[in-house]
Amino acid sequence: MRFIDEVEIVIASGRGGDGCISFRREKFVPRGGPDGGDGGRGGSLVLEATRARNTLADFRRRKAYRARNGRPGQGRNMTGASGADLVLPVPVGTMVIHEDELLADLASDGARYQLPGGRGGRGNVHFKSAERRTPRIAEEGKPGQELEVRLELKLIADVGLIGFPNAGKSTLISRISAAKPRIADYPFTTLVPNLGVVFLEEGRSFVVADVPGLIEGASAGAGLGHQFLRHVERCGVYLHLAAPDVYDRDVVEMVRVLDGELRAYDAELARRPRIVVLTKIDLLQPDERARQVRDLEDAGLGPVLAISAVTGAGLRELLGATWRVLQEQGGDSVDR
- What is the arithmetic mean of pLDDT over 129-156? 93
pLDDT of 82 higher than 70 = yes
179 with 148, same domain: the answer is: no
Q: What percent of the chain has pLDDT over 90?
A: 56
189 with 295, same domain: the answer is: yes
Residue numbers of the domain that contains 127 = 6-153
35 with 167, same domain: the answer is: no
220 with 247, same domain: the answer is: yes
Nearest of 220, 214, 216 to residue 232 by alpha carbon: 214
The predicted pLDDT at position 308 comes to 94
Helix, strand, coil tally for the chain in percent (to 5)? 25, 25, 50
Nearest of 262, 276, 335, 334 to residue 307 by alpha carbon: 276
Per-residue pLDDT of 259-310, as tens digits, reads 888 888 888 888 899 999 999 999 899 999 999 999 999 999 889 999 999 9
147 with 164, same domain: the answer is: no
Q: Report how far residue 270's alpha carbon sits from residue 240's, in angstroms, rounded to the nearest whole number.
A: 11
Cβ count within 10 A of residue 99: 9
pTM: 0.76
Domains of the chain: total: 2
61 with 10, same domain: the answer is: yes
Q: Collapse the DSSP code of 169 into the 3-class scheme (helix H, G, I; strand E, B; otherwise coil) and give the result.
A: helix
51 with 180, same domain: the answer is: no
Residues 34, 125 contacting (CB under 8 angstroms)? yes
Q: Is residue 65 part of a domain?
A: yes
pLDDT of 187 higher than 70 = no
Q: Is residue 279 part of a domain?
A: yes
Q: Is residue 280 part of a domain?
A: yes
62 with 167, same domain: the answer is: no
102 with 239, same domain: the answer is: no
74 with 129, same domain: the answer is: yes
CATH number of the domain within which 323 lies: 3.40.50.300
185 with 146, same domain: the answer is: no
Max avg pLDDT among 116-125, 190-199, 324-333: 116-125
Q: Is residue 1 part of a domain?
A: no
CATH number of the domain within which 142 lies: 2.70.210.12
Q: Is residue 35 part of a domain?
A: yes
Q: Report how far residue 30's alpha carbon sits from residue 173's, in angstroms, rounded to the nearest whole number.
A: 81
Task: Check residue 32 and give left, alpha or beta (phi > 0: left; psi -120 to 50: alpha).
Answer: alpha
